[in-house]
């Protein structure tokens, strides 16, 4: 794929190029930009398949740049130093991103996901989804939704339908009401912070449960029984914290 890097930090652009050369040799860097205007010009000139895009730059944001394109035909990987609500918003809408300082494996995985996805048809939709998610972080959780991307499908589901999450190495299995299961190619730790704000609790290294679906907790046996008739192990160090949370419900 032909790619462009838009980042106001020269060191960051060089770092991305070095990592891509080693781990993603099929990516060809055809242009660069150090801000909104130069990035826009580079995209128009070089017509890339993929853009690595910083968020905060001296002459505006990455979203300001994207908003110049009513229709876009390239894929986007955000490169960001944000660690709080923005990242949570990205996760809600399955926008590919890597955080600074950049981890080579994280960059490689983002590129692999981008290679399998289709470009967004309208940047307006992307910005709208982002802003909606930011608002949802501070609003009622009752109808909050999350986007789960599998190889061929994008699932938009209500968070309240998630009974539990189970880790399977670099994958996560979402168990939903109605017996539905969704397997996504992201590790469970990427969902931990997002879900724990919505009545979820990580009872074990491999399990996150929705406390709303707990039927009973067998404290001595360290087993949590859920309303879908499944039992989930609870680690000893999580026992007392789980008891406190259930008592406060």
pLDDT in tens, 120-158: 544 445 444 444 444 444 344 445 778 787 777 778 888
Same topology, domains 2-135 and 140-247? Answer is no
User: What's the token pair of residue 203?
Assistant: 């009872």
- Tens of pLDDT, residue by residue over 50-78, are 999 988 888 888 878 888 887 778 888 88
Of 3.40.50.2300, 2.30.110.10, 1.10.10.60, 3.20.20.70, the CATH number of 2-135 is 3.40.50.2300
* Domain coordinates in residue numbering, the chain: 2-135, 140-247
CATH topology for the 140-247 domain: OB fold (Dihydrolipoamide Acetyltransferase, E2P) (2.40.50)
| pTM confidence score | 0.54
- Tens of pLDDT, residue by residue over 176-234, are 999 999 998 888 887 877 787 778 999 999 999 999 999 999 989 999 999 999 999 99
Of 46, 87, 57, 47, the closest CA to residue 65 belongs to 57
Decide the pairing of beta strands 171-176 and 97-99.
unpaired
C-alpha distances in angstroms, 205 versus 3, 87, 91, 181?
Answer: 37, 22, 20, 19
């Amino acid at each position: 794929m032909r790619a462009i890097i838009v980042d106001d930090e020269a060191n960051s652009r060089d770092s991305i190029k070095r990592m891509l050369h080693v781990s993603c040799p099929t990516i060809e860097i055809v242009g660069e930009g150090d801000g909104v205007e130069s990035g826009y010009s580079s995209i128009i000139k070089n017509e890339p398949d993929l853009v690595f895009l910083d968020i905060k730059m001296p002459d505006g944001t990455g979203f300001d740049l994207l908003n110049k394109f009513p229709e876009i035909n390239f894929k986007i990987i955000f490169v960001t130093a944000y660690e709080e609500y923005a990242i949570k918003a990205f996760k809600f809408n399955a926008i590919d991103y890597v955080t600074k300082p950049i981890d080579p494996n994280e960059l490689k995985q983002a590129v692999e996901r981008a290679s399998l996805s289709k470009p967004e048809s309208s940047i307006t939709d992307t910005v709208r989804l982002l802003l909606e998610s930011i608002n949802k972080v501070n609003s009622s959780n009752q109808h909050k939704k999350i986007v789960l991307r599998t190889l061929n499908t994008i699932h938009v589901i209500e968070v309240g339908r998630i009974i539990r999450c189970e880790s399977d190495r670099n994958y996560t299995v979402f168990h939903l009401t109605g017996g539905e299961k969704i397997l996504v190619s992201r590790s469970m730790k990427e969902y931990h912070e997002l879900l724990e704000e919505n009545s979820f609790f990580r009872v074990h290294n491999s399990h996150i449960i929705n406390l709303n679906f707990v039927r009973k907790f067998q404290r001595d046996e360290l087993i949590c029984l859920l309303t879908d008739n499944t039992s989930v192990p609870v680690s000893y160090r999580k026992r007392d914290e789980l008891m406190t949370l259930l008592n406060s419900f």
